[in-house]
Structure 1
Amino acid sequence: MRRTFLTAAGIALGVLLLTDVLRVWLPSIITVFGQAASTPAELMGGFALLWFVGAFAVVPLLRPLGSRGVAVVAGIALAGCRLGLLATDGGQAQLYVASAGLLAGLVWLAAAAVAGPDPLPGLVLGLAAGTGVHAAVGTFDLTWQGNAFAWSVTALLCLAFGAVLPAVTDQTTGSTPAVWFLAGPVLLLWTMIAGSPALAATAVSYARGEEAGIAGPGPGSALWTAALTAVSVGLFAAGALLVRPGAVAAIAGLVTLVAGTVLFALSWGAGLAAAIPVTALGLGLVLCATGLRAGTGEPSARRGFAAVGGMTVFAVAAVLYYAAYDIGYPNEWVPPAVAVLVAVVAGRPPYPRIEVDRSWIGVPVAAVAALLAGLLMPVGPATTAAPGTPGTVRVVAYNIRMGFGLDGRFDLAGLTAAISAQRPDIVLLSEVDRAWLLNGGHDTLTLLADRLGMPYRFAPAADAVWGDAVLTRLPVVYTATSRLGPVGAPTGAQALGVTVDVGGAELAVVSTHLQPPPGGGPVSQAREVAAFARGFAAGRAVVVGGDLNTQPGDEAFTVFTEAGLVDGFAAARPLPSSPADAPREQIDHLLVSPEIGVTDVAAPRTEASDHLPVAATLTLF
């Protein structure tokens, strides 16, 4: 039992560290190497796959070199790179340390697979523990925090991994390549859907919000979020720990997993709350169905190739899913396709013929679930203050680029400082990411709203967890959202309307992020937003703001002025806001109805995003 536990602990800690590295490596590909989509997608994809090719090249050398020794060396390198990420200050260093950590993690996984231990206990423990840690830090990963606490916890995890690392390859049970192949696809579906605390928080904010289709922090959201995450972990473990897997478990896993991923792909709101636990149960059942088939206890390169191949599926599927938002094609089929692949590989007969006692896994997994159930993750302030100063309100509009600064780091502190320095009453946010694995799986909106002490309203645009938001302490009277026509632009767009009480007067606020079609301006979307704003305001004073991707004098900008709105920054022009390090484009705006006066216009310099925030004081006459 002791040797079995040490082997599982070693695999679990390795999976945990590799997942942490991936949460840095994936956004680094986009923000550092890709420079926020300015680099061709084909080049980014080629660079990403290069590290997996390198791992494939190492696999044939594992048996001659000794898989146990290579596993130890690669594991130490993985831990070293995980610690090294805390020491980088973004940029190229972050990209290449994360890439080296990924390669080391792939080689460690392949070497462990060649040796042939049973990976299922460690995989279940590692995925559950990863969710627990991610939830415990409120989805704000330790890498990005970089403080003494982050160093201490990361060092302890790396030391613990080093202590049990030799035990990873001690137990050779003759596992088959199938179970090692599944590690990659299961990791993708777990971190993207079933084991994502950020997705759970988003799902709850839709379900507990006061308005249908618009997310907001409702009463008891923290407890519901923790409970949903804990239930997901529990169902995953329960499915994986069935004592006698067989055809029934395989079929149930196939149906449940596909159903969960389809529900995720089609959900634009509260349906996510069902997709998460259903997918978790399906993952557990298909892992159980894979079991531990009879095989040789000798080192096998086939298992090593299978492990790296499964992780390559992780990378390819992630790229296919998220590249759609830059290139433009349907991507809803990707999660169900991965689910079908997992189910087919896991459900192939013959079913397990070797009895292995894994019942003990339930104890540490239950502890993780209990921890999650007791956590109160930040979900953003749920209450509003009394009406503000009659007639005056400070408004900030900011494209936050999913929370990543120009240096490629998740810069929560920089965003908070840039916004709070303006002492805003209302904040309009564009490019808000609430759970994309590509960006590390953060709930950026909740993290930012919690630090600003401002309740939020969020409306989806590209998918259920990427869109626009309005933050305000002012009482919210009414909200609405309208999806905009895609006009050939890859990323979706919407208009979010929030009416607030400003000292007894009502102000209609519209937050949007226009997406221009290839080779043109966002003219048709500008018309839709202008019409929506006019109807939503219904005679009230109105302000339309956000990243409009059009400049004064352009046809799309003229659509707003012809609709009766006034350029709020006209007296302060030119007011460039993009790119943040050398602003030259005037594409972030506040447009107001004629009865609103605009003063104290500002576009403070900061590199917490690729845009500058724009701010102004509005006076309602």
Structure 2
Amino acid sequence: MRHRHLRTAALALGVVVLLDVLRVWLPSIITIFGRAAETPAELLGAFALGWFVLALAAPVLVRRLGPRPVGVVAAGVLAAARLALTAAPGGRSQLWLACAGLLAGLVWLAATAATVARPVPGLAFGLAGAAVGHALLGTEDLVWRGGALGWALSVLLVLAFLAASAAAIGWFPRPWHSSAVPERPAAERRSGPTGVRAWLIAGPALLVAGQLALAPALWSASYSYGYGTADFPGLALPPDGPVSWFPAYAIGLFLAAALTRPPSWLGRVVWPATLLAGAVLFAADRPGWLGWAYLLAALGLGGCFARTDGVSGVVEDSAADRAHKATGGDPPDTGAFRRAWAAVCGMVLFAVGCVAYYAAYDLGYANGWVPVGTAGLIALAAVTGPAQAAPVLTGYARRLTALMLAALALLAGEVHRPEHSVASPNQRTAEVRLVAYNIRMGFGLDGRLDLDALTRAVDGSRPDVVLLSEVDRGWLLNGGHDTLALLAGRLRMPYVFAPAADPVWGDAVLSRFPVRAGRTEPLAAHGAPTGAQALGVTLDLGGRELAVVATHLQPPPGQGPVAQAGEVAAFAIRYAAGRPLVLGGDLNTEPGDPAFAEFTRAGLADALVAARPLRTSPADDPRSQIDHVFVTPGLTPSGATAPRSTASDHLPVAVTLALP
């Protein structure tokens, strides 16, 4: 394998490992350091940004000690942290391991940038490979998986990364070379600061790829949204049928655009416009536009990447550089130092974008500008790039890419396939077991994504209907998982999803009975920074119907959700239209509060009153009951419980409802 292809392979594998660590670090900042929004947003943001600011010292370290020793040590620490995170018990140890792995990854990135002047192929293959792997795992990270298979795959990934890195820097003997250090490719020898632009947008590109363009969970959510009907405006009701092939199209378009040499007019105009169009569609908060958003963003991101991979000038090696290389050392390349700075500064931009996006849900401003602004930076780099992009693929690399593109269609078939109804429409039932649960995006009190524990917490009550709050379907800040699809698959229950804060965060209803109709209604914010909605679905219980409403009320700072409670109660009564009704979820109010009284004033009865005190929060020391179930007269509740579990920061509530 040519030396430059070894560097490409090492960079691609390193990106996959770094993304694995980031998918643990990001939710750890929120759930462990942030403690479910108890930590002030300013302190959380400063802590998160501090690690990236600290990495700004990496280029100086690389310049003084050389990229090889720094890169070797950083790669070793990154690999060790990646494996340790799989074994970590969660909590503070997970947080600090993730921080150490992140810092090592940033230092490794700076060292790699100093030796790789043309990073686009490695970055593109790394982002695409991470997306394919995430899709094959159903969007559940490999780092969260234990067992023999999970550990074997993790070890293989880390060993492949370390082996490729060692080969790329010349640790392994290569008898086909005569002596000393392999000669750098002509483009690297002659171009001086070539690669600075590509390294600078690596961080913003990672943000756009993880949040939108190459996010498998977003594909899953978009696919299910595509089957809404006139009765389900904006709802996701998965039907029978094959999964979407769009993931293959998205990755294929991304790689094809990133690894080819387009005409100048195409790169300067079409690719930036395409990327911006995808980001704007995503920021528009329209669920039906998600599919187009990620396809356009994938194509535009790949094309803009290619535009940054040009040769910016001819700078021959100096006599000092040639003498330094003759001794087997790395030349004191000014371009290498610039690339190291660009790589770290690009990751600082990544961190700023993540913090700005998340802080909106504490501070109450519109965060749709974050993906648009990030895409704008990438588009600007492409527009102002060299007039002629350099060729990217040569020789067998072109054939390898063709094979990868062909294989994507097969890989896409492994993306999560939603479960479907298991109850017959003609099966008449006299009672329904219902569970309402705030799942905190799938993260337990220890800060780990443990879907098996979450499944046990729900399935232990043998539910027929499940109402879920804080459902995440692809937030990069939470690791990019489709938590709803993963949980529904384990429970073997189909779902209906309704967006609240944005198209991939909201509430859901899972049911063993067929769903016949549904509607979602956004709730007025009333000063609350996070959006809320009311989701109504109609279940067929074998000749009779049951109206179910799921919601998660968001109180304004320092107040109760009184206004939203009144809106939800009124919506539920209208939606039920005389049919038996059950309403539940995380209502962020306690019995006796004014918001709680809004439901009883509407004629609804507390289905959990017989089991009080039934405290549900916090899960490890429950002191308050803020999760509730209300019913209309005629439904008879019994067997109310709040099973103990630390799979979320809330306890689930379960109750059996006898139909009239």
Q: Is the 8 A contact 1:511 1:544 kept in 2?
A: yes
Letter in 1 for 2:453: G
Report the Cα offset of residue 53 of structure 1: 1.9
1:246 corresponding residue in structure 2? 264
Matched, 1:79 2:60: no
Structure 2 counterparts to residues 110-149 of structure 1, below 5 A: 110-149=110-149
2:435 corresponding residue in structure 1? 396
Q: Measure the CA separation in 1 of the matches of 2:395 and 2:275.
A: 23
2:206 corresponding residue in structure 1? 187
Q: Measure the CA separation in 2 of the matches of 1:427 and 1:239.
A: 43
Q: Measure the CA separation in 1 of the matches of 2:282 and 2:40.
A: 29
1:543 corresponding residue in structure 2? 582
Change (3 A) 1:192 1:367: farther
Letter in 1 for 2:360: A
Number of residue pairs matched by the alignment: 618
Matched, 1:341 2:382: no
2:349 corresponding residue in structure 1? 313
2:293 corresponding residue in structure 1? 275
Letter in 2 for 1:379: R
Identify the range of structure 1 (273-282 vs 115-124) with the bigger mean alpha-carbon deviation: 115-124
Report the Cα offset of residue 219 of structure 1: 2.6
Q: Measure the CA separation in 2 of the matches of 1:371 and 1:209.
A: 30
Q: Measure the CA separation in 1 of the matches of 2:398 and 2:278.
A: 23
Deviations 1:238-278 (A, max 9, x none): 11123255243121111111001001111421211111110
Aligned-partner SS, 2:131 = helix
2:573 corresponding residue in structure 1? 534
Report the Cα offset of residue 344 of structure 1: 0.9
Q: Is the 8 A contact 1:205 1:221 kept in 2?
A: no
Structure 2 counterparts to residues 417-428 of structure 1, below 5 A: 417-428=456-467
Structure 2 counterparts to residues 508-587 of structure 1, below 5 A: 508-587=547-626
> Match for 2:217 among 195, 198, 221?
198
Change (3 A) 1:359 1:179: farther
Q: Measure the CA separation in 1 of the matches of 2:395 and 2:518.
A: 50
Letter in 1 for 2:101: G
Q: Measure the CA separation in 2 of the matches of 1:396 and 1:246.
A: 58
1:213 corresponding residue in structure 2? 234
Q: Is the 8 A contact 2:117 2:195 kept in 1?
A: no
Change (3 A) 1:371 1:219: farther
Q: Measure the CA separation in 2 of the matches of 1:371 and 1:619.
A: 52
Structure 2 counterparts to residues 97-108 of structure 1, below 5 A: 97-108=97-108
1:598 corresponding residue in structure 2? 637
Aligned-partner SS, 1:270 = helix
Q: Is the 8 A contact 1:247 1:289 kept in 2?
A: no
1:92 corresponding residue in structure 2? 92
Report the Cα offset of residue 11 of structure 1: 0.6
Identify the range of structure 1 (367-376 vs 476-485) with the bigger mean alpha-carbon deviation: 367-376
Q: Measure the CA separation in 1 of the matches of 2:369 and 2:396.
A: 37
Change (3 A) 1:555 1:143: same
Structure 2 counterparts to residues 277-316 of structure 1, below 5 A: 277-294=295-312, 296=315, 298=333, 300-316=336-352
Q: Is the 8 A contact 1:194 1:276 kept in 2?
A: yes
Q: Measure the CA separation in 2 of the matches of 1:434 and 1:356.
A: 35
2:178 corresponding residue in structure 1? none
Report the Cα offset of residue 379 of structure 1: 3.0
Q: Is the 8 A contact 1:547 1:588 kept in 2?
A: yes
Change (3 A) 1:412 1:65: same
Change (3 A) 1:185 1:364: farther
Q: Is the 8 A contact 1:135 1:372 kept in 2?
A: no
> Match for 2:362 among 321, 326, 331?
326
Identify the range of structure 1 (165-174 vs 434-443) with the bigger mean alpha-carbon deviation: 165-174
Q: Measure the CA separation in 2 of the matches of 1:470 and 1:604.
A: 19
Report the Cα offset of residue 556 of structure 1: 0.7
Report the Cα offset of residue 4 of structure 1: 2.4
2:325 corresponding residue in structure 1? none
Change (3 A) 1:359 1:312: farther
Report the Cα offset of residue 366 of structure 1: 4.4
Q: Measure the CA separation in 2 of the matches of 1:9 and 1:31.
A: 34
Q: Is the 8 A contact 2:306 2:389 kept in 1?
A: no
Report the Cα offset of residue 475 of structure 1: 1.6
Identify the range of structure 1 (350-359 vs 182-191) with the bigger mean alpha-carbon deviation: 350-359
Report the Cα offset of residue 293 of structure 1: 2.0
Q: Is the 8 A contact 2:307 2:385 kept in 1?
A: no
Identify the range of structure 1 (55-64 vs 191-200) with the bigger mean alpha-carbon deviation: 55-64
2:279 corresponding residue in structure 1? 261
Aligned-partner SS, 1:438 = helix
Report the Cα offset of residue 145 of structure 1: 1.4
Change (3 A) 1:544 1:579: same
Deviations 1:145-199 (A, max 9, x none): 1221111111111111111103445646143311111111111111111111100
Structure 2 counterparts to residues 359-378 of structure 1, below 5 A: 360-374=396-410, 375-378=413-416
Q: Measure the CA separation in 2 of the matches of 1:314 and 1:359.
A: 34
Q: Measure the CA separation in 1 of the matches of 2:352 and 2:396.
A: 35
1:385 corresponding residue in structure 2? 423
Q: Measure the CA separation in 1 of the matches of 2:115 and 2:540.
A: 66
Q: Is the 8 A contact 2:308 2:389 kept in 1?
A: no
> Match for 1:452 among 491, 507, 514?
491
Change (3 A) 1:478 1:576: same
Q: Measure the CA separation in 2 of the matches of 1:589 and 1:371.
A: 48
Report the Cα offset of residue 355 of structure 1: 4.9
Q: Measure the CA separation in 1 of the matches of 2:352 and 2:234.
A: 31
Q: Measure the CA separation in 1 of the matches of 2:47 and 2:55.
A: 14
Q: Is the 8 A contact 1:240 1:288 kept in 2?
A: yes
Change (3 A) 1:75 1:386: same
- What is the percentage of aligned positions where both structures have the same residue? 54
Aligned-partner SS, 1:508 = strand
Report the Cα offset of residue 349 of structure 1: 4.1
Q: Is the 8 A contact 1:45 1:319 kept in 2?
A: yes
Deviations 1:470-521 (A, max 9, x none): 0001021211111100111111111110111224221110000001111211
Q: Measure the CA separation in 2 of the matches of 1:576 and 1:131.
A: 41
Deviations 1:331-384 (A, max 9, x none): 111111111111112321433475554575454444444444223322321234
Report the Cα offset of residue 214 of structure 1: 0.3
Gaps of 5+ in 2: 170-181, 318-332
Q: Is the 8 A contact 2:260 2:393 kept in 1?
A: no
Aligned-partner SS, 1:518 = coil
Misfit runs of 4+, over 3 Å: 166-172, 294-297, 352-372
Q: Measure the CA separation in 2 of the matches of 1:546 and 1:366.
A: 49
Deviations 1:36-90 (A, max 9, x none): 1110111111111121122111211212201122112211211111111111011
CA RMSD of aligned residues (A): 1.7
Q: Measure the CA separation in 2 of the matches of 1:357 and 1:145.
A: 35
Aligned-partner SS, 1:431 = strand
Higher alpha-carbon Rg: 2
2:328 corresponding residue in structure 1? none
Q: Measure the CA separation in 1 of the matches of 2:600 and 2:543.
A: 28
Q: Is the 8 A contact 1:390 1:504 kept in 2?
A: no
Report the Cα offset of residue 542 of structure 1: 0.3
TM-score (ref. length: structure 2): 0.91
TM-score (ref. length: structure 1): 0.96
Change (3 A) 1:366 1:492: farther
Q: Measure the CA separation in 2 of the matches of 1:380 and 1:116.
A: 42
Q: Measure the CA separation in 1 of the matches of 2:210 and 2:99.
A: 19
